Structure 1
């Protein structure tokens, strides 16, 4: 019988004990090779070894978000995410995620995730198209059923914390790992989120559209469109003459979203 080597990334002791208990119930042969509680320790560990069969990972740790590490590392084993946060579905499955357990999860939910790992581990030629389809469906369900769209964001500043109303945001832009929101006065606000896909999941898709890899626009602030070239549109926003461009693979969907 194969012994599975498991890494646990969790900063709360009760949550770690629950994982240990559920793993023991689901599997007779395993070894928890390491328990990590911080993003900094995770970064150091993954730079030295990835000798694991499976990772159980929380997302928000005491010193940051695990995707700060995962986005810079090529992972060689699957991850089962176990978290209290429901807005990271896309990020999770971009980082080798095969299941997403929302706390407090039951043993039945844990068992379903574990069995998915066993099936993938035992299949020498897994059907990745089927897996991707399952993941996409799960993400869609999560977006439709679990995510509550934001009506404001808490923004930290030197003077404290203030609240930025979503309805006043003209667009979002990602620049060198930092995400900015621009309001009606063209004032720039530094967002607390570190992963751009996080922002997209928190916004009402009827009001906001991601026109390229690094920009999201608010429908009500779109002033006009012009053809930039055959497959790209220039998007004029009625906020201090800001002009953005769609990516080629987004233009058609953007037109459909606008009903044109």
Structure 2
């Protein structure tokens, strides 16, 4: 069993369902018996008070919907600069937020294997680079929620020789980055260069229609022709129209990808 090798880790659980909070604590101790759960809080108000009166923990496990509102209200009232793992039943937030930046977004009911992966991911991220401040992570998700329902791009203008053509998003199979060129690929197999990076496209596309598979690929939900189990909890995709490279969903993204397909 993998475990963090640092000194005793202090974890704050913010979760308004007592059974869910107890289960998270049990999973943490199963991962590492030395982990100290500093508190289990159920509301925005109690969380703000606790964070104002205590030293920051090493990690916060955070539900999105709390007893008295959304967890994002906590970060408007108190500065938090420790890692955060979101635990939520609301995949409409997690699906899009996962494609941006954070440690992880776990969909309820939280399974031990997924929490273990998240804790290991945190360890690896800390070894490679400093974590983004929690406040930055929260602001990204707050912006997502504020923009929920706003108009995403409905068409893209592409060059066709000397002409310009408008392609509706429901005609698009996927966006593919190849040889430093970003391509829009239609469902009938035609390819057109686009001037946007894939990171820019993620912010323009409806997350209920498009999924950011990896750094080179964003697919439309209709493009996933076949899905096959792959090694180490990953998934292998067959796309329509076909693509030359092997398309694999990482083990971290697999639960969100399944939830996205099943929406």
TM-score calculated relative to the size of structure 1:
0.48
Structure with greater contact order relative to length (CA < 8 Å, sep ≥ 6): 2
TM-score calculated relative to the size of structure 2:
0.48
